[in-house]
Structure 1
Amino acid sequence: MAQRQHRFPGVTRHLLREAVIDAAAEVAGRSDWGSLRMGDVAVAVGISRQTLYAEFGSKPALVRAVVLRRTDRLLGALSAVLAGTGGDEQEAVRTCCRFVLNAARDDPMVTCLLTGAESGLLDLVTTDSAPIIDRATAALTGHVLRRRPAADPRRVAVAADALARLLVSHVVLPDRDVDTVAGEIAELVGPYLREVLSTG
């Protein structure tokens, strides 16, 4: 019983954070991310602004938490998509790129991060994008190694990291159509990944 009591505050905090993230997404969905107000989120959850700021510190920190959860969900969906691809590494990379870039271009939150004037939001996908890249690299590396467990983990991670960074770059600067970008990234990363897997 004592152990359960000791763990309860941690569980409660996790549930609070999840409720706040849900509320932030819901409140922003009714207007836009640029006009999201911390006070509105606090009211939606039923907590004070003081409690909200004590947990997240600032609006950019809250938006970061939402971004990272969306990233995790996107990567989960991507894993399901990649599970249906065959053994052609270059085509798998192309499929990955199409899925991620199309999802980003259809997401109003991404649009807000890229076009909003509020300080700190653009950093989440530029100078402060390391958490997104790290998550994507880990997810892509894990996917490849589950299918090819004999492959060199370090070299697979190199390919995954390069792919993640290229995708984030093209999300931030969407200057061409998705199919063209996906094809070019696949031409670059696919052969290296094929070579890595052929020696594994």
Structure 2
Amino acid sequence: MTATTGTTTRQRIVASAVELTLAHGWSQVTMGRLAEAVGVSRQTVYNEIGGKPALAEAMILAELERFLSVVTDAFDAHPDDLVAAIEAATTGVLRLARGNDLLKAVVSATHGADTELLPLLTTHAESLLETAKTVVAERVRTYDVPLDDHLDPAIDMVVRVVLSHVMQPSAAPEETAADLAFLASRVLRG
């Protein structure tokens, strides 16, 4: 960690990559431009991150951490009510998605044909999905859930539905969250 900013060089590189992507589009992000923005050498960027595909994944995973902290906070706020935790987590995630400029840039490909990042959220989203499902499963398992062998498929379905609404919202976050909470309450009753 650097003493002055409290962030690692890697975190600074990823944050600058996000800024450059929002300002100029992903296709205009180069390791040289990124190194200049951070104030390090190109070699340092490669040493910290790797190539551009690894940089893209690091950006997406950094955003995922922000989203998962919202999930964790929602579960912490409702330790005795799983349905309320699901509703709060879904509301928080969808609100964060609504105001997330990087997500908007990735999903809408606002910079011409600049769609290289989109597969990280769609067809190549294995690590994103697995990370999200692991965090949600850890939280859900602290509740008394009567789903036995069906818990993992239920978590998979909830994560995929929320991700679908992140990518393409169909209603206000609160409305979507209430609907998902309603369904969860019915499933949890058995």
Per the alignment, residue 85 of structure 1 pairs with 78
Counterpart in 2 of 1:162? Answer: 157
- The answer on 1:37 being equivalent to 2:37 is no
Q: Distance in 2 between matches of 1:45 and 1:103?
A: 26
Q: Does residue 187 of structure 2 align to residue 192 of structure 1?
A: yes
Q: AA paired with 2:181?
A: A
Question: 137, 140, 144: which is aligned to 2:140?
Answer: 144
Number of residue-to-residue matches in the alignment:
178
Change (3 A) 1:153 1:68: farther
Identity %: 27
| Amino acid aligned to 1:93 | I
Between Structure 1 and Structure 2, the one with more helix by share is 1
The yes-or-no answer on 1:57 pairing with 2:51 is yes
Asked if structure 1 preserves the Cα contact closer than 8 Å seen for 2:20 and 2:26, the reply is: no
Q: Deviations over 1:13-41 (max 9, x none)?
A: xx553342133235456x36547522321
Partner residue in 2 for 1:3: none
Q: 1:20 aligns with which of 13, 16, 30?
A: 13
- Give the Cα separation in 2 of the matches to 1:22 and 1:184: 34
Q: Structure 1: which 5+ runs fail to align?
A: 1-14, 196-200
User: Is the 1:123–1:129 contact (alpha carbons within 8 Å) kept by the matching residues of 2?
Assistant: yes
TM-score of the superposition, structure 2-length normalised? Answer: 0.77
The 3-state SS of whatever aligns with 2:115 is: coil
Structure 1 pair 193–65 and aligned structure 2 pair: CA distance change class (3 A): farther
What is the match of residue 93 of structure 2? 100
Report if the CA contact (8 A) 2:78-2:85 is conserved. Answer: yes
RMSD: 2.8
Letter in 2 for 1:57: G
2:126 equivalent in structure 1: 130
Q: 1:154 to 1:25 in 2, by over 3 A?
A: farther
Q: Which has the larger radius of gyration?
A: 1
**Quick check: 1:159–1:189 contact (8 Å CA) kept in 2?**
no
Q: TM-score, normalised by structure 1?
A: 0.74
> Any idea what SS the aligned residue of 1:146 has?
coil
Q: Rate the CA distance shift 1:24–1:79 in 2: closer, same or farther, 3 A.
A: same
How far 1:90 moved relative to its partner? 2.7
| C-alpha contact 1:126 1:172 (8 A) present in aligned 2 | no
> Secondary structure in 2 aligned to 1:104?
helix
